Amino acid sequence: MDLQLAASVAPLLGWAVPGGILTRRLATARCDPLTGLHTRAGWTARAEHLIRRHPTAAVLLVDLDHFKTLNDSHGHAAGDAALAATADRLRSWCGCHGIAGRLGGDEFVAVVRDLAAADLDALTAALHRPLPYAGTALPLAASVGACLVAELPVPSLTDALAAADAAMYAAKGRGRRGSRTSR
């Protein structure tokens, strides 16, 4: 190799390797390792984009019911399996019409382009299917709150999350295992 060429290429390689490592680390930080869903940071930018482009968008907040009891009764590996199954069901329900994320713990979030087309009842049913685990069926349940962005005075992700959170707590107040849309 020509010495002059090597001298000009060496600095580029010096920046390329750390740049590749940094890119991988940033991607990992935006993806929850247990569920494969976007973390809050990774989900937020995508959700804001969907809300801007789709006036019929809806924001959902999903909270597993009795998760601590499941963990205490069946162990943390069963709890991890329940979180992964919930993520898979939410991701599948969103399909190509939205995006799902994990806020942390047993809280999940999603935004879909059109809630009427996405069928909230189908999501609720999917989230309540028992999970086969270690020869038994783990009972799963979730409370879901939804906010139609078009019903907000100003369509913002922050306000939609707050309304979805209130709707989710209203669903929990009705005995859990259900969903509710903000009004």
176 and 65 in contact (C-beta within 8 Å)? yes
In this structure, how many other beta carbons lie within 10 angstroms of the beta carbon of residue 114? 14
- Indicate which residue of 32, 63, 65, 106 is catalytic: 106
80 included as an active-site residue: no
H/E segment holding residue 122 = helix 120-127
Taking the alpha carbons of 96, 102, 107, 109 in that order, is the dihedral positive or negative? negative
111 and 164 in contact (C-beta within 8 Å)? no
74 CB-near residues (< 8 Å, 6+ apart): 133, 134, 136, 138
73 and 27 in contact (C-beta within 8 Å)? no
Q: What does R_g of the chain's alpha carbons equal in angstroms?
A: 21
Catalytic residues, by residue number, are: 106
